[in-house]
Structure 1
Amino acid sequence: MPQVSILIPVMNEAENIVPLYHEIKKYSPEDFELIFINDGSTDDTFSAIKQLYLTDSRVKCISFSRNFGHQNALMAGIDYATGSHIVTMDGDLQHPPSFIPQILEQLQNGYDVVLTKRRKTANQGFLKKLLTKLFYKLINFLSDVPIEENVSDFRGFSRKVMHTIRKFEERDLFLRGVFSWVGYRRTIIPFDAPSRLHGKSKYNFTAMIRLGLKGTTSFSFKPLRISLLIGSIVSLISFLLLAITVINYFQGKTVPGWASLMTVVTFMGGIQLLVFGLMGEYIASLFRESKKRPLYIIDEMINVD
């Protein structure tokens, strides 16, 4: 059993594979396994990993038949990891391998989960910082499980936690929420993220929104309760307006008002569409869970049992 399994989902990171490997080799113990999860890359990522394996048998790879998403790729790595400790990180070198010794030290000191928290990211624009901050504020407001702000998927955990995570069978995976939900003794290591070495980030605004919806619907019914509260308030206001309208009618004070009518109709329609949209997200999540499709399909494996 290797001392540590390092799990790295990659998608179109061909230029980063070799530099990342050398950094990991520099800071990891001699007894490690490095599992790349090739998440439907369309460039030479898989070929680069194959070449590494020919020079170092500690390099392994799980290659998907198509892109299944970052969270599913992490889960595949967790399913096949064999190390005493597990470290997950991204493949763009924005998660510095130089922190691996600190993570392993904390795990050996008795912590079950070691999280890392970004203090700042090099070359990150103001808009991205603002959107990230708003993302965490919104998801923590809506979710019943608190998510630490700027805590990334760069983490370490014990085999005990790994076996617990493997028990999860849900299809809408949000591992940051899962790691918060399971508990265990944990600590946080702050770090400054460098700029990406090669290529472009795959994590855009749309992906952030999608991840936020997945996290919210997976761990909270609060959006539905908020919708119920808003609906109750609007219904009360509508009832009061109706009562005032009836009183004015019998007093002969009614005045035709197209603008006010359209305002009320538009407002009510917007509220209804919002509530139906939220309900639709939960129903869609239930639909995906009920089909029980596999989280990923493996096309090829290198050096993985």
Structure 2
Amino acid sequence: MQFRYSLVIPIFNEEVTLKELYHRLKPVMDNLDGPVELILVNDGSHDRSLELMQELHQQDGRICYLSLARNFGHQIAVTAGLNFARGEIIVVLDGDLQDPPELIPAMVEKWRQGYQVVYAQRTQRHREGWFKRFTAYVFYRLLKQLADIDIPLDTGDFCLMDRCVVKVLNTMSERNRYIRGLRSWVGFRQTAILYERDPRFAGEVKYTFRKSWTLAINGLVSFSIVPLKISTYIGLFSALMAILMAILILYWRIVAPQSSLVGFATIFVAIFFLGAVQLVSIGILGEYIGRIYEEVKGRPLYTLSEIAGFEQE
């Protein structure tokens, strides 16, 4: 069967939202002008998410699901869904209903105008703490300044992509994935749709600070070598400071040998400063080397324990 639309949704411990998610998606799918497949990707959930996905599959033949053998992370779960998507128009959205499914027809209309990527750009985040809003605001603007490509501000993974874009993404096997960056990297005609991001329908936030931090580091390291250059610049600055301090200490030793600026305190400050610079530089270098190590092992991005709904291929 040739599908016109594929909706890809990663699921991790979303038993309290799955039924409402389907309830809101069903009228959208019914009103689209072609065959639709809804691909739910179970990312190693520990609750009843997989059981509910199985029930939804029995209830509606348009629903397919993949169950990863363990929790591989949000970006890998999205990647798995894209690998199995068969439609010519692919939409990626989250399962917590912060990405409103009702926006999909407007995205499709942009696609009809000739755009191959239509990304949803947040204008407001409802019921999110000031710290998360502030850190997200800073991160997106920092990434835009440092990245080698133009990654749109305030955008997540909620988007529509043409089949030609997904084909290119599926050829990329890198493990530390930042899909919204890869989506920009591939090029093609892209445009935004503005929307206000809703709060979670129910349940706990799945993107903890640690996960958000990891995703942010992946975005920075995957699309910029500026951190490596910064460590080099800091090293050069430290060398100049060390030379200046050596000259000053020599001057004080000759002119004012009893000065408190001469002695162990100055030496300790210099040692700690240079040691900190070295450790920061090694840490930045380690981030890049660690990614090289992950890539050269050549392991598959994910493993599947269960799959259903793709038999008609």
Same fold, TM-score > 0.5, yes or no: yes
Match of 1:296 among 288, 297, 302: 302
2:67 match? 63
1:282 match? 288
SS in 2 for 1:15: coil
Q: How many angstroms does 1:281 deviate by? A: 0.6
- CA-to-aligned-CA distance 1:129-159 (integer Å, 9 cap, x gap): 1111122133233322232221111100100
Q: How many angstroms does 1:15 deviate by? A: 1.7
Matches within 5 A, 1:49-128: 49-128=53-132
Task: Please tell me whether the aligned partners of residues 146 and 180 of structure 1 are also in contact (alpha carbons under 8 angstroms).
Answer: yes
2:205 match? 201
- CA-to-aligned-CA distance 1:78-113 (integer Å, 9 cap, x gap): 110001100000000110010010111111221000
Alignment partners' CA distance in 1, 2:107 and 2:59: 27
Match of 1:266 among 246, 269, 272: 272
2:5 match? 4
Matches within 5 A, 1:180-199: 180-199=184-203
Question: What is the CA RMSD across the aligned residues, in angstroms?
Answer: 1.5
Task: Please tell me whether the aligned partners of residues 53 and 59 of structure 1 are also in contact (alpha carbons under 8 angstroms).
Answer: yes
2:179 match? 175
Which structure 2 segments of 5+ residues have no match? none
Q: Are 1:36 and 2:40 an aligned pair?
A: yes
Q: How many angstroms does 1:252 deviate by? A: 7.2
Q: How many angstroms does 1:35 deviate by? A: 0.1
Name whichever of 15-24 and 282-291 sits farther off: 15-24
Q: Measured at CA, do residues 264 and 55 of structure 1 come closer, stay the same or move farther in structure 2, by a change above 3 Å?
A: same
1:13 match? 14
Q: How many angstroms does 1:127 deviate by? A: 1.6
1:24 match? 25
TM-score, normalised to structure 1's length? Answer: 0.96
SS in 2 for 1:14: coil
Name whichever of 85-94 and 215-224 sits farther off: 215-224
Alignment partners' CA distance in 1, 2:258 and 2:297: 55
Alignment partners' CA distance in 2, 1:260 and 1:64: 56
Q: How many angstroms does 1:247 deviate by? A: 4.7
Q: How many angstroms does 1:254 deviate by? A: 6.8
Q: How many angstroms does 1:197 deviate by? A: 0.9
SS in 2 for 1:229: helix
Task: Please tell me whether the aligned partners of residues 62 and 304 of structure 1 are also in contact (alpha carbons under 8 angstroms).
Answer: no
- CA-to-aligned-CA distance 1:159-218 (integer Å, 9 cap, x gap): 010111111111111111101111110110011122211111111211111011111111
Name whichever of 153-162 and 135-144 sits farther off: 135-144
Alignment partners' CA distance in 2, 1:105 and 1:140: 28
Q: How many angstroms does 1:55 deviate by? A: 1.2
1:231 match? 235
Q: How many angstroms does 1:250 deviate by? A: 5.5
Task: Please tell me whether the aligned partners of residues 87 and 155 of structure 1 are also in contact (alpha carbons under 8 angstroms).
Answer: yes
Matches within 5 A, 1:211-222: 211-222=215-226
Q: How many angstroms does 1:14 deviate by? A: 1.0
TM-score, normalised to structure 2's length? Answer: 0.93
Which structure 1 segments of 5+ residues have no match? none
Task: Please tell me whether the aligned partners of residues 245 and 254 of structure 1 are also in contact (alpha carbons under 8 angstroms).
Answer: no
Task: Please tell me whether the aligned partners of residues 147 and 176 of structure 1 are also in contact (alpha carbons under 8 angstroms).
Answer: yes
Alignment partners' CA distance in 2, 1:304 and 1:264: 64
Q: How many angstroms does 1:292 deviate by? A: 1.1
